[in-house]
């Protein structure tokens, strides 16, 4: 038996909810202010580390990454983004599968309707042919000129 839209929607919701946000919550705890403060922290960290690495760009990147990975804010932001990416992947996978199922159902409906229409028309034409062979007048068998 085919699933109805509500059960498919609930299945998608349950599969998305399996991917939790950082502390195990269903809603994210990272906001735009946290991202702005993370950017500010990156800028200040890069500014303070620049003289120590003597202008080496790659060393500066690694030093700033190491310092940021120690902070809770960076971990929260990255894990929230990862949860969003996982949820989006599940959503699009389910959406693609649902679209494939619906296209298959539409194609089966089209074939079934075409077959039944052709069958009914063939039966009607058969009876009109049979009536013509037996010389029985049927409605619409001969149109008066």
Annotate 106-124 with DSSP letters as a single string: HHHHHHHHHHHHHHHHHHH
In a domain, 140, yes or no: no
pLDDT tens digits along 94-109: 888 888 888 888 899 9
Q: How many domains does the chain have?
A: 1
- Tell which residue, 132, 28, 143, 126, has the closest CA to residue 76: 28
Q: Tell me if 133 is assigned to some domain.
A: no
Write down the pLDDT at residue 4. 65
141 located within any domain: no
What integer pLDDT is reported at residue 41 of this predicted model?
79
Determine, yes or no, domain membership for 124: no
Q: Is residue 129 part of a domain?
A: no
pLDDT digits (tens, 9 = 90+) for 56-90: 778 878 888 888 777 777 777 777 788 888 888 88
pLDDT of residue 1: 40
Whether 134 is in a domain gets the answer no
State the residue for tokens 């190491």: 66
Q: What is the reported pTM?
A: 0.54
Looking at the domain assignment, is residue 42 inside a domain? yes
- 123 confidence band (pLDDT: 50, 70, 90): very high
Structural domain boundaries enclosing 44: 5-115
Provide mean pLDDT across the span 35-59: 78
Query: Is residue 60 in a domain?
Result: yes
Indicate if the pLDDT at residue 136 is higher than 90.
no
């Amino acid at each position: 038996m085919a699933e109805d839209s509500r059960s498919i929607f609930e299945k998608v919701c349950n599969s998305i909810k399996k991917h939790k946000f950082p502390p195990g919550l269903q809603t994210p705890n990272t906001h735009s202010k946290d991202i702005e403060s993370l950017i500010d922290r990156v800028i200040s960290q890069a500014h303070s580390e620049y003289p120590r690495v003597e202008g080496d760009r790659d060393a500066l990147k690694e030093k700033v990454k190491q310092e940021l990975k120690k902070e809770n804010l960076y971990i929260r932001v990255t894990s929230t983004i990862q949860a969003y990416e996982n949820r989006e992947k599940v959503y699009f996978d389910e959406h693609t599968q649902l679209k494939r199922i619906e296209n298959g159902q539409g194609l089966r409906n089209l074939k079934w309707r075409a077959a039944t229409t052709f069958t009914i028309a063939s039966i009607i034409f058969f009876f009109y042919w049979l009536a013509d062979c037996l010389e029985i007048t049927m409605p619409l068998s001969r149109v008066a000129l």
